[in-house]
A = this chain, B = another copy of it.
Amino acid sequence: MYPLEIDRAIDGRASRGVLGILGGMGPAATADFYRKLVAATPAVTDQDHIPVVVVGDPRILDRAQAIGTRAESDVLAGMLQRLRHLERAGVDAVAMPCNTAHYWLPGLRAATDIPFISLVEASVAEARRHAVHARTVLVLGTAATVNSRIYEAELARSAFISVVPEPEQQEEVNRIIAFVKAGAVRDAQARFEAASESWCRQADVVLLACTELPLAAERMLQDRNNLIDTTDALAKACVAWFSAMDGAGR
């Protein structure tokens, strides 16, 4: 019934926990998260890395379109079925590398005993670490993420003031996200780089609050600036969780 539990006997290696990844929203972002998780893990051999089970199922209905409609409950149902799969695999925590999907986080948390490592909480904490005295944050994401104010409460808790993107700015962000989802990453990068200078001037910190955006911002993220990669923030939070399980002597 729980094959990854049984493994712990065969492999002769005490496990510190298995991370479940509720992914596929979208697939490129999930692959990017997996890569950043591996890169953020202090490891010398394969066996030092975090065991993961990924359900990367892109058939879940479009989250951005569903918010505010009757399809909201269908999206939650779709997510819950993938979550049940992760539960049966015996995962010890769940990460969901999709900002818009965090609209459903309260519903997901209410439906399981397995802890979720929140991308929103991880990203705001990372923004605070990165910019201790920063006041304003520009949240760039899907219109759904921005309009449903997924980040609002968490930003306020960390004493940040949220800056709302202008309508034409939001349209450009939408286009960049669509290019990444369609696999046209180079086009997305060119558009992002053309726009980013003015965006970075609008607030002390710019949150790339859609997991497609760090793919478009790859070259910009290499320079030290005020962009926060939410995918990377989630990866680091997962590594911290895994290390803490070790500290707890498991």
Q: What residues of chain A have their CB less than 8 Å away from a CB belonging to chain B? A: 3-4, 6-8, 10-13, 15, 18, 21, 24-28, 30-32, 34-35, 37-39, 41, 43-62, 74, 77-78, 81-82, 84-85, 88-89, 181-183
- Tell me if B3 and A26 are in contact (CB < 8 A): no
Which residues of the partner chain B approach A58 to less than 8 Å between Cβ atoms? 46-51
Which residues of the partner chain B approach A78 to less than 8 Å between Cβ atoms? 7, 10-11
- Tell me if A54 and B52 are in contact (CB < 8 A): yes
For residue A182, give the distance in angstroms from its CB to the closest CB of chain B: 5
Question: Given contacts A7-B81, A54-B56, A74-B10, is CB(A35)–CB(B31) below 8 Å?
Answer: yes
For residue A64, give the distance in angstroms from its CB to the closest CB of chain B: 10
Q: How far is the CA of A183 from the CA of B11 in the complex (A)?
A: 23
- Tell me if B11 and A60 are in contact (CB < 8 A): yes
Question: Given contacts A3-B85, A24-B49, A31-B34, is CB(A182)–CB(B62) below 8 Å?
Answer: no
The chain B residue with its CB closest to the CB of A74 is B10
Question: Given contacts A35-B32, A46-B181, is CB(A84)–CB(B3) below 8 Å?
Answer: yes
- Tell me if B81 and A6 are in contact (CB < 8 A): yes
- Tell me if A46 and B24 are in contact (CB < 8 A): yes
Q: List 19 A-B contacts (CB under 8 A).
A: A3-B82, A4-B82, A7-B57, A10-B74, A11-B60, A11-B74, A24-B46, A27-B41, A31-B37, A31-B38, A34-B56, A45-B62, A46-B58, A49-B58, A52-B54, A52-B57, A53-B54, A53-B85, A54-B56
Which residues of the partner chain B approach A12 to less than 8 Å between Cβ atoms? 61
Which residues of the partner chain B approach A62 to less than 8 Å between Cβ atoms? 45-47
Query: Can you list the 8 inter-chain pairs with the closest CB atoms, starting with the nearest?
Result: A54-B54, A31-B34, A26-B46, A3-B85, A31-B35, A49-B58, A46-B58, A52-B56
> Most B CB atoms within 10 A — which of A4, A18, A21?
A4
- Tell me if B51 and A4 are in contact (CB < 8 A): no
Q: How far is the CA of A37 from the CA of B55 in the complex (A)?
A: 15
Which residues of the partner chain B approach A25 to less than 8 Å between Cβ atoms? 46
The chain B residue with its CB closest to the CB of A77 is B10
For residue A144, give the distance in angstroms from its CB to the closest CB of chain B: 13
Which residues of the partner chain B approach A44 to less than 8 Å between Cβ atoms? 181-182
- Tell me if A59 and B34 are in contact (CB < 8 A): no
Contact with A31, one of B31, B57, B88, B89 (Cβ below 8 angstroms):
B31
Question: Given contacts A34-B34, A183-B39, is CB(A7)–CB(B51) below 8 Å?
Answer: no
